[in-house]
Amino acid sequence: MSQAALTAPTELRYVQYHSSKEKIYLSAIRQLISDDLSEPYSIYVYRYFLYQWGDLCFMALDEQDNLIGVVISKLEPHRGGPMRGYIAMLAVRQGYRGKGIATELVRKTLDVMIERDADEIALETEVTNTAAMKLYERLGFLRSKRLHRYYLNGNSAFRFMLLVKEHPAAYEYDDEAQAQLPIRPPSA
């Protein structure tokens, strides 16, 4: 598909996370994600995802096992309706960007979600984050709405959605009412 995906460095390994790996990788994951945040997440946020949905988290590691990129997600019924996957965090180390690493990480998490019967997949990204928007759009996500002043810094977000299945029953629930807390605060 994309140019980026084709030129992904071959020496990287893509590894699924597991709680047994917390000691080795968690602080590196936190560091990588925090680099682009103005407000840090407490450790609870990471454990909230990793403890419950470790299998949806993928890491890109180089030959020395340094963490180059990570994606963290969850999958659960959305307000009693469809099974909704949610990509919570995604980051690739500076200097390694634009090589298709994030695309590969996202594809891996999507594949597991779909295998685990996801009906739809959602995420948010800042309206100015061109790289992230391009990445998700190329995979088939649509912008479903603009979230006004979603982040602490006052910036707006787009909610991106990917429908995996047609599921008329899910149309009944109200996607709009509940304000969700931004999982990804703004970059500084």
Partner 1 sequence: MADLSKLSIAPDQRDLRQQHQSIAPLQFRKKRMMTVDITSEFFVAASALDTGQLVKDEHFTLFEAVGALEIMDPKMDSGLLPSGESVEHDYDVLKELLPGEVIGIMDQILCFEMTWHMGHPLSQSLFTSAYIDRLLWPDPKTLEQARFERDKTPGPGNELLHLVLRAYCLGLIKTCDFVRRSIMSEQYYEEEDFVVSLYHRKLLDDFGLADISMKLEDAMAYVARKTDLMDLPFREALLNRLEFRKMLLSAVQLDGFLDHQRARLWEGCLELIPMLSQTNKLGLPSEKSFSIKIQRKLASSVPPRPIVKISFDEALARLSGICQNGRDAYRVLESHSGTHLMTFVLTYQSRKPQPLVYIRCLLQSLVFSEMRVLGTMTLKQLLYDDFEELVLPADVLVDPTNCDIEAPQDPRFQISKRMDAFATKAANAEGVDIELRVYTKEEPIREVSAPNKVMWSFPLSSWAYYYKLRQMEWTVQMGFELEVYQVDELAGMYWYLHHLASTRLQHIERIRTFSTHRLKRIAKPSFKQKTSFRRSFSFLDFATLEASAIQSFAEGLSCLFSFLAYLGLIPAPYHPLPYSTPALRYSLRVRPFLSVSLPEVPSYPEFASRVSLHTPERDAGDPSHRTPLTKIETNDQASSILDVADQALKAARKDWESISKAKAETARCVGCEDWWRTSVKNVVRACITANIMIATSKKAISNAASKDVRDILKVELVKSNELYHAWWMVPRISAK
Ligand X SMILES: CC(C)(COP(=O)(O)OP(=O)(O)OC[C@H]1O[C@@H](n2cnc3c(N)ncnc32)[C@H](O)[C@@H]1OP(=O)(O)O)[C@@H](O)C(=O)NCCC(=O)NCCS
Closest by CA position to 57, among listed 82, 37, 32, 94: 32
Q: Tell me: does residue 98 bind ligand X (CB under 6 A).
A: yes
In the complex, the smallest distance separating the C-beta of residue 143 from ligand X, rounded to whole angstroms, is 13
Cα 123 from chain centroid (whole Å):
7
| Sole window of 20-28, 61-69, 77-85, 94-102 interacting with partner 1 (rule: CB under 8 A) | 20-28
Q: Residues 6 or more apart from 137 whose CB is under 8 A from it?
A: 160
Pairing of strands 120-126, 83-92: parallel
Radius of gyration of the chain (CA): 16
Q: Tell me: does residue 59 bind ligand X (CB under 6 A).
A: no
Tokens of 173: 């629930």
Nearer to partner 1 by Cβ, of 62 and 133: the residue is 133
Tokens of 149: 């002043």
Closest by CA position to 121, among listed 80, 157, 74: 74
**Residue type at 166?**
E
Of 55, 96, 138, 187, the residue at the interface with partner 1 (CB under 8 A) is 138
| Sole window of 16-24, 112-120, 129-137, 168-176 interacting with ligand X (rule: CB under 6 A) | 129-137
- Residue 140 binds which one of ligand X, partner 1, none, with CB within 5 to 8 A depending on kind? partner 1
- Residue 142 binds which one of ligand X, partner 1, none, with CB within 5 to 8 A depending on kind? partner 1
Of 50, 56, 91, 147, the residue at the interface with ligand X (CB under 6 A) is 91
C-alpha–C-alpha distance, residues 157 and 176, integer Å: 15
Nearer to partner 1 by Cβ, of 12 and 72: the residue is 72
In three-state secondary structure terms, 166 is coil
Residues of this chain that bind partner 1 (CB under 8 A):
1, 19-20, 22-23, 26, 39-45, 47-48, 50-52, 74, 107, 110, 114, 120, 127, 137-146, 148-150, 154, 158, 161-166, 171-172, 175-176, 179, 181, 183
